[in-house]
Amino acid sequence: MEDSDKHSGLEMTPQQMRQLASKAADILIDRIGSMDGAKAWDGEFREILAREFDGPPPENGRVAEEVLEQVARDVLPYGAQLDHPRFFGFVPSSPTWPGILADFLASGFNINTCSWLVSSGTSHLELVVIDWLRSWIGYPESAGGLMTSGGSAASVEAIVAAREAAGHPAQPVVYMSNQSHSALIRAALIAGVRREHIRLIETDDRFRMDMNALRQQVSEDQAHGLHVVAVCANAGTTSTGSIDPLVALADYCKNEGIWLHVDAAYGGFALLTADGKEKLEGINRADSIGVDAHKWFFQPFEAGALIVKNGQHLNDAFAIRHDALQDTIWGANHPNFSDRGLQLSRSPRALKIWMSVQIFGIAPFRVAIQRGLDLANRAATYVESSPALELITPVSLGIVCFRVNDGNHDEQSLEEINRKVLAHVFWDELAFVSSTTLKGKFSLRMCILNHTTTWNDVQRTIDLVIRIGSKALDPT
């Protein structure tokens, strides 16, 4: 037998595959089952990890079960447990089992949703999911979009589409509020906007873009010969969940002929509730909207999406023919998703959303999103009822910003006290809370959107802050 007729050694028997897959499933199911009693965060210093992992790759393989156990014991637990019921830092993510399985199946079938020819099935599901998003937003049939790795990629694609629609001007300017996510600034830079032409517009006392400041900056820039490419609004800022004045922005951008993009990566799925729909009124008048299903739609990373009101804009910006891909043109109504964005090879991200919704139905998603909103409102009331705490800004979309403050300390001491409190909460290991800075004030911040979080989780966490905070306020 020729060497080339033999197996390379990269295959496994069906029995080995089944055993390993079943072990991996057991590890995950046990983790989910024991989450409530586990830490919300763990981490390790590099030198400790280096002792175990550094070195050249082994020439010969090890026992597969041992590798799996090592990863489950010594690698994966070291980090934020973003799906822990008391993980309230940054933006948590709490995927459901169908979404996790969808990613497993997608890897196993080795799907590349680049073109209809290469993946008709998952391309079609992407159309279906994009159409769901379209209808939740209230966009017309002409809207189109694609799944992305997340809000960052959606922002890049939106600003590139806006730039192309504006005729790819030489001196582009992009506007966003001073509360916008750094992902939007990075997106504008990638799209070729000079750093000094990315305008961070002032916000009001509730962290919403100041329309007068926007109008004034746009007129000044136009007077200087700069070319307005887009205004980027927030539908749920990461710091406070604040929502920019979407109706006023839509009116203004329509009058001025400016592309309005809405970064709804954090808050977009609130549209599935009556409460959220009311708060996000006007979002459907934007030219493009980015949302993240790995945030408030309970999917594993990566599950972002960009929806553009006139879907053709994406093809105009991104479709480029290549001779080696000429066979992939299936014809009318059979889109190649790689023509709509920055990736050619793409995992089938719509699959997890589609499978989750088929298995659970959409009703429990609405309930879970509403629960996050309700818990955050209840948490704010609880904060306000404590003489040791101050609610820094009214709750907008599931985020509670507060600090330890009994009214007897100046701003500098309050910052020191709250930094200390945050560190102690962190060491306590009951829960994970993060911080932000709001108009110069150091603020504790809880983002409550995990579908497994209960009032008890929220209350225990705030009680812990009160306990630690009371000591920090009066250390005697």
Ligand X SMILES: Cc1ncc(COP(=O)(O)O)c(C=O)c1O
Query: Which residues inside 22-81 make contact with ligand X, applying CB under 6 A?
Result: none
Q: Pick the closer one to ligand X by CB: 444 or 449.
A: 449
CA distances in angstroms from 40 to 88, 432, 446, listed in the order given: 9, 6, 13
Least distance (Å) from ligand X to the CB of residue 263?
A: 5
Neighbours of 145 (CB within 10 A): 31
CA distances in angstroms from 408 to 51, 109, 417, 434, listed in the order given: 49, 62, 12, 24
Spell out the residues 6+ positions from residue 93 whose beta carbon is closer than 8 angstroms to its own. Answer: 82, 83, 294, 295, 298, 299, 300, 301
Neighbours of 322 (CB within 10 A): 9
Least distance (Å) from ligand X to the CB of residue 380?
A: 20
Query: Which residues inside 274-293 make contact with ligand X, applying CB under 6 A?
Result: 292
Among 265, 314, 404, 414, binds ligand X (CB under 6 A): 265
Q: Pick the closer one to ligand X by CB: 155 or 418.
A: 155
Among the residue ranges 150-158, 280-288, 305-313, 454-462, the one whose residues contact ligand X (CB under 6 A)? 150-158
Neighbours of 45 (CB within 10 A): 8
DSSP-based three-state secondary structure for 105: helix
Can residue 341 be called a binding residue for ligand X (CB under 6 A)? no
Among 152, 284, 336, 347, binds ligand X (CB under 6 A): 152
Among 150, 172, 311, 335, binds ligand X (CB under 6 A): 150
Least distance (Å) from ligand X to the CB of residue 230?
A: 15
Spell out the residues 6+ positions from residue 88 whose beta carbon is closer than 8 angstroms to its own. Answer: 431, 432, 433, 434, 445, 446, 447, 448, 458, 461
Write the secondary structure of 15-44 as one string of H (helix), E (strand) and C (coil).
HHHHHHHHHHHHHHHHHHHCHHHCCCEECC
Can residue 300 be called a binding residue for ligand X (CB under 6 A)? no
Least distance (Å) from ligand X to the CB of residue 317?
A: 19
Q: Pick the closer one to ligand X by CB: 187 or 417.
A: 187
Contact 126, 350 (CB under 8 A): yes
Residue linked to tokens 């549209």:
271
Query: Which residues inside 434-473 make contact with ligand X, applying CB under 6 A?
Result: none
Least distance (Å) from ligand X to the CB of residue 264?
A: 8
Nearest Cα to 175, choosing from 239, 220, 236? 220
Among 115, 238, 239, 240, binds ligand X (CB under 6 A): 238
Neighbours of 401 (CB within 10 A): 27
Give 307's strand partners.
145, 289
Q: What does the block give as tokens for 315?
A: 């093809």
Contact 112, 118 (CB under 8 A): yes
If binding means CB under 6 A, how many residues of this protein chain bind ligand X? 12
Q: Which amino acid is at 157?
A: E
Least distance (Å) from ligand X to the CB of residue 434?
A: 11
Among 92, 98, 151, 300, binds ligand X (CB under 6 A): 151
x/- letters, 80..119, toward ligand X (CB under 6 A): -----------x----------------------------
Among the residue ranges 3-11, 106-114, 262-270, 387-395, the one whose residues contact ligand X (CB under 6 A)? 262-270
**Closest residue by beta carbon to ligand X:** 150
Can residue 183 be called a binding residue for ligand X (CB under 6 A)? yes
Q: Pick the closer one to ligand X by CB: 96 or 238.
A: 238
Q: Pick the closer one to ligand X by CB: 287 or 292.
A: 292
Q: What angle do CA 469, 267, 303 make, to 5 degrees?
A: 110
Q: Pick the closer one to ligand X by CB: 168 or 186.
A: 186
Contact 291, 264 (CB under 8 A): yes
Among 84, 134, 163, 181, binds ligand X (CB under 6 A): 181
The Cα 93–Cα 150 span in angstroms is 12
Least distance (Å) from ligand X to the CB of residue 241?
A: 9
Least distance (Å) from ligand X to the CB of residue 237?
A: 6
x/- letters, 302..321, toward ligand X (CB under 6 A): --x-----------------
Q: Given the rule CB under 6 A, which residues bind ligand X?
A: 91, 150-152, 181, 183, 238, 263, 265-266, 292, 304
